[in-house]
Amino acid sequence: MTNWTVRDYTPTDETPWLRCRVLAFLDTTYYDDVATAKPQRDAGLELVAVAGDELIGLLDASVTGNDATIETIAVHPDHRRMGVAQGLLDEICGRLQARGATQVDAWTRDDEGTLTWYRSQGFEQQMRYLHVYASGPEEARGSFGSRTDLMPRSGFFHAWTDHEDALRQEFARVYSCRQFVKPLTPEGR
């Protein structure tokens, strides 16, 4: 289906919002970032794309002063490459600019298609750090230390990139977390 529209999120969208987000993230490095309830954002900064009665995309943003952040953007896998993400981004950029934001950032991981898309939308990478997962008891114990009163089973850590090679040798799951920034100017929209 190619006919879709962008509108404001409503509370009745929560279940399809959650489903769309899970399915959109399933084939990415965010596959295990599952939400069981939708985080609430400011009115007007929660958008959904719908095709008929089906929610096929979503974008939530926040604004702090002149800076805005895309908190979540996702497109249902069956509706990718139809301009849905572009439509959501175009709409939110106008709303962010109207609220006084002069730039918008987004954080993402190592998915090449996503990185390419952000760059094609005028975003530039500003910084990078690592998401490190201790996925099993051995990795968790090794990273947690020698405490005997706790039995770590897994863990999630942030790390700077100065020890990236060593971390990638020690842990099976290490991702680059990248901040992309885009100016919100008439020519940057």
Q: The domain that contains 79 carries what CATH number?
A: 3.40.630.30
**Residue closest to 54 by CA, chosen among 91, 20, 81:** 20
* Count: domains in the chain: 2
Chosen domain end from 53, 81, 101 = 101
Residues 105/69, Cβ–Cβ less than 8 Å: yes
CA–CA distance, 71 with 100 (Å, rounded to integer) = 18
> Which structural domain, as residue segments, surrounds residue 142?
130-173
Residue that terminates a domain, selected from 101, 117, 144: 101
Q: Which residue ranges in the chain fall short of pLDDT 70?
A: 1-2, 145-147, 186-189
- What is the separation, in whole angstroms, between the first and last Cα of the chain? 27
| pLDDT at 186 (0 to 100) | 62
Position 117 in a domain: no
- Looking at the structure, tell me whether residues 72 and 156 fall in a common domain: no
Pinpoint the alpha helices (H) of 60-149. 84-98, 112-120, 137-144
Please, which residues have CB within 8 angstroms of residue 138's CB and are 6 or more apart in sequence? none
Say what the pLDDT of residue 1 is: 47
Residue 69 and residue 147 in one domain: no
Whether 41 maps to a domain, the answer reads yes
Tell me if 178 is assigned to some domain.
no
Q: Quote the pLDDT of residue 143.
A: 72
Residues in CB range of 172: below 8 A, 6 or more apart: 133, 135, 139
The number of helix segments (H) and strand segments (E) in the chain equals 5, 8
Is residue 46, in this structure, part of any structural domain at all?
yes
109: in domain: no
The confidence score (pLDDT) of residue 151 equals: 78
